Amino acid sequence: MDDKHKNFKRNAPAETLFERPVKYDTRVSGARLRGRHVRVRAGMKLHEAELLPDAKCSFKVEFGADSVWLGYVRRGTKTVLLPDLGRKTVQAGEWFIVRIEEMQVLAEKEADVELMSFSMCPHVMGSLVSLCETVVADKLHCFACVNQHKPTVLHGRANKKLQWLSEQISIASADELKGRMELEARSLEWISELVNQPTLAEKDDKEFGCSAHDAEALRKVAAYLEKHLEEEHSLADLCRRFYINEFKLKRNFKAMYGITVFGYLRELRFQRAEQLLREGELSVIEIANEVGYSNPSHFARGFQERFGMKPKAYQNMHQAGAEKPKDVN
């Protein structure tokens, strides 16, 4: 190593260096608490924790400074008491964003909870918000504003990709370089996906002249498409199923989600296909059928347009040395 690189290493701020996760296993007020935390980027930490209560209990958590937390409940129900906001509950499968300095955690006997979260100061959150689309930035502004000191909370149901990314983060070891880089990549992808959740990314109904009834119908259409990727869909069928006329469906869906109905479906299908290819348990043809493509050639061409390589090549790239998901009881 030459002198220039030696000096760089010696003078580099500690928070910019890669580090292994810190694991812990302790007890707090009648509950076992175990997990790990690791610095993902300067000013941003990943926390993964399991709370295993032996009896009904509560304990106070003080963060020592104004903090923003972006998280997801993997298992159980997280219940906390927040200053000025009172009791808040987030269920398994839900994401949350909260800005707090302290909280009181409430736990019931044998009601285990597993969650992951990213902590950052409002300044770092502000740099993240500055890159978001306007509609998202407006909703997240209170988490980054230096003059905002009251506790603030948002939460919603996570889509399948956000859930899957959480699972991938949980199995990334981070004890060696490949795992550490995978952890960072998945963490940043998770945050990017979070700020594009429909609850945050969709506009208020009044912004595009949509009635409350039609807005609810559009949300149901989006949820239905996500759950039925393998099926054939038509605008006429969706209109009949959700009681909305075709003109409103086409115009208002694009206004709400920034993409056409079938563009949205196509994106969902390729997101799911990408997940299945990474898992490596199905063939390309099986995956094509799983996401609604009866013609493998059409699937392969569309996948290459979306990800820059053919699905088989993508699968082979991620199968080499891939870790298998751990069992979850």
Which of 194, 210, 230 is the endpoint of a domain? 194
Cα–Cα distance, 258 to 134 (Å, whole number): 12
Tell me the per-residue pLDDT of 58-105, one tens digit each, with 9 for 90 and over. 888 887 667 889 999 998 988 887 777 778 888 888 999 988 788 888
Q: Assess whether 43 and 181 both reside in one domain.
A: yes
Cross-strand bridge partners of residue 59: 105
Q: Assess whether 294 and 186 both reside in one domain.
A: no
Q: Assess whether 283 and 253 both reside in one domain.
A: no
Q: Assess whether 31 and 171 both reside in one domain.
A: yes
Q: Assess whether 100 and 163 both reside in one domain.
A: yes
Token reading at 87: 């009791």
Mean pLDDT of the chain: 82
Return all residues near 121 (Cβ < 8 A) that are at least 6 apart: 43, 65, 66, 67, 68
pLDDT band at 114 (very low <50, low <70, confident <90, very high): very high
Q: How many domains does the chain have?
A: 3
CB 194 within 8 A of CB 187: no
Q: Give residue 229's pLDDT.
A: 92
pLDDT band at 150 (very low <50, low <70, confident <90, very high): low
SS3 per-residue string spanning 274-329? HHHHHHCCCCHHHHHHHCCCCCHHHHHHHHHHHHCCCHHHHHHHHHCCCCCCCCCC
Tell me the per-residue pLDDT of 219-271, one tens digit each, with 9 for 90 and over. 899 889 988 999 999 999 999 999 999 999 998 888 777 689 999 899 889 88
Tell me the per-residue pLDDT of 167-215, one tens digit each, with 9 for 90 and over. 889 888 778 888 888 889 999 999 999 988 877 766 555 545 677 788 8
Number of residues that this document lists for the chain: 329
How far is the CA of 225 from the CAs of 167, 202, 231, in angstroms?
A: 23, 17, 9
Domain that holds residue 57: 17-194
Q: Give residue 2's pLDDT.
A: 46
What is the number of other CB atoms lying within 10 angstroms of the CB of residue 192? Answer: 13
Exposure string over 285-299, b if 16+ CB within 10 A, otherwise e: eebbeebbbeebeeb
Q: Model pTM?
A: 0.62
Q: Assess whether 115 and 227 both reside in one domain.
A: no
- CATH code of the domain in which 278 resides: 1.10.10.60
pLDDT band at 16 (very low <50, low <70, confident <90, very high): very low
